[in-house]
Structure 1
C-alpha cells in the first residue's frame, strides 16, 4: 500500500520519471553501435612462415613442428594448432582468457628470435600476428572445371600459394574435392611366394618417397614447385 499511496500522491513525479526512462531507452537504441563482427579481444596469436619451393611434408617437418615444440611451453598457451601447405607454415596459439596479450606477444616474439636459427636457411623470418575478430574477414571462392580430374591438387598447389603471397591474407584453405593418391593392393599369395612381409613393403615405399625442395621452374605460363 505504501508504494500505491506514493504514486497516487505524486502523479506528476511518476509521469516525469517514466518519460525520462522512455527517452533514455529510445536514445540508447538509436545510439547503439551495430556491427556484423563486433570488436572483441580474442586470445590468439598466429605465426606465419614462408619457405618457397618446399612441399607440405617438408614444411611440416622442417618449419611447423620445430615451432610447435618450442611455443607450446610458453606461459598461458591453451592449445596449439597448425597448417602446413606448399611454401607456407601457419601456427595458431590459443591462450587462456584473461592472459595479458601484450605480454604474450612480447614473449612469443622473443621465443621466435631463438627458434629462427633452427629453421632452414632459405626460410623467411617468421611473422607474428595478433588475431582480431574485426579483422578476420572471410572470402570464399568456388572453382569448378568440367574436364580436369585433379582439380583439388591444382587449386591446393597453384592457386592457394598465390593467394597466400598477398600481404593482407592471413590464411588460405582449400576444401572439398579429393587429393590424388596411389593405392597399393597386396596379393597374399605373391607375398608368400617371394617371402615378403607387409612391413617390408611399407618400408620400401617410405624409403622411395623421400623428397627435398629444389626451388621453382617455369613451364609455359605455369610456375611449378620442384622436389627431388
Structure 2
C-alpha cells in the first residue's frame, strides 16, 4: 500500500504552495488595513438621555420645575417604552428607554423638538437641556488636572466648574466636560433631639422651613421701553447665618423659633471618599 507523505506532496508542488502562501499573506494584509478595531463592540442600545440642571435648587424643586415638564413633553412620543428620572441637588437626568427596533435617530429628533416647545416653561436660569444617545465608546478622551499652591481644593473645584468646563464645552465636537475631585461645599445642620422635643418640633419641620425659604419664584413681568422683563423673587440662601436664622415655628408666646435654637449650623465640605494621585 502506497503511503501519502504531506512533505513529499508539498515538495512536488512548489508553485501551488507558493501561490497559497501569497493568498494567505494578502488576505492578512487586507484584513489588517481594512477591519475596524474599537475598544468596545458596536452596540445599538436604544437609550436616550436628557440632562439639565438648576444651581443650588433642591431635588424636590428640580423635579417640579424641570423633570415634570420634560417628562410630560416626551412621554407621548412613539417608540419610548419607559422613562426614568434621576434627580439630585441642582441636577436632573431623564433616561428614555426605547422599544426594540425603534429608530433612535428619528426618536431623538422628536425628543429635541418636544423639549424645544416647552423650553419657555423651564426656569430662565436652568441649564439648557442636553439630549444625547448612549454610546459604549463615549469615554473620556482626555483628563486634565488643576493645581495651584495658593488655592484650596474647594477653590480649584469652583474654577473647574465655572471656568474650565464652560470654555471646554464651547469647542465644536465636544459633547461635555465634567469636573471631578476637589472639595464640594456642604452646610451641615446637626439637630439636638432634646431641644426639638422642648419646642415640639421634628427634623421634618426644619426641612420644610428650609425648602419654603430657599426658593426662586416668578412674580410677574415688567414692560419698559417696549422690552418685557421677567421679575423673580430672590429668596435663596447666601450665607450660613441666613440658614441659622430661618424661622421654623412660632411659640405660644409669639417668640419665633429659629434653626439655631434647636441645631448647630456649620459650613464645611463633603466627606472625602477617595484620593487620586496625578
Q: TM-score range by the shorter chain?
A: 0.5 to 0.7
Q: Which runs of 5+ in 1 are unaligned?
A: 214-225
Q: Determine the structure 2 residue equivalent to 1:25.
A: 27
User: Post-superposition shift, 1:122?
Assistant: 6.9
Question: Please, what TM-score do these two structures have when normalized by structure 1?
Answer: 0.61
Aligned residue for 2:17?
Answer: 15
Q: Please state if 1:172 is matched with 2:177.
A: yes
Q: Deviations over 1:30-85 (max 9, x none)?
A: 42356566894654545566x8xx52537944335532454356415576566889
Please say if residues 67 and 94 of structure 2, whose CA atoms lie closer than 8 Å, have aligned partners that are also in contact. Answer: yes
Q: Which of 107, 113, 126 is matched with 1:104 structurally?
A: 107
Please identify which structure carries the higher helix content. 1
| Cα distance in 1, alignment partners of residues 163 and 195 from structure 2 | 43
More divergent stretch after superposition (151-160 vs 89-98): 89-98
Equivalent residues of 1:160, 1:173 under 8 A apart: no
SS at match of 1:184: strand
The answer on 1:208 being equivalent to 2:210 is no
For 2:147, the equivalent position in structure 1 comes to 144
- Pick the structure with more strand per residue: 2
Q: Is the 8 A contact 1:164 1:170 kept in 2?
A: no
Task: Give me the CA root mean square deviation.
Answer: 4.8
Distance in structure 2 (CA, Å) of the matches to 1:116 and 1:151:
33
Task: Say whether the 8 Å CA contact 1:45–1:131 is kept in structure 2.
Answer: yes
Partner residue, 1:217: none
The answer to whether the Cα contact below 8 Å between 1:163 and 1:172 also exists between their aligned partners in 2 is no
> What is the deviation of 1:9?
7.4
The answer as to whether partners of 1:153 and 1:180 remain within 8 angstroms in 2 is: no
Number of corresponding residues: 212
1:186 deviates by 1.9
Secondary structure at the aligned position of 1:183 is classed as strand
Q: Which residue of 2 aligns with 1:220?
A: none
Q: Which runs of 5+ in 2 are unaligned?
A: 219-233, 237-278
Measure, in 1, the Cα distance between the counterparts of 2:89 and 2:163. Answer: 12
Question: Would the alpha carbon gap of residues 104 and 56 (structure 1) be closer, same or farther in structure 2, given more than 3 Å must change?
Answer: farther
Determine which structure has greater relative contact order: mean sequence separation of CA pairs < 8 Å that are 6+ residues apart, divided by chain length. 1
Structure 2 Cα separation of the partners of residues 178 and 115 of structure 1: 35
Q: CA deviation at 1:14?
A: 5.6
Cα distance between partner residues in 2 of 1:192 and 1:124 = 41
Cα distance change on mapping 1:204 and 1:101 into 2, 3 Å: closer
Tell me if the contact between 2:214 and 2:235 (Cα under 8 Å) persists in the aligned partners: no
Larger Rg: 2
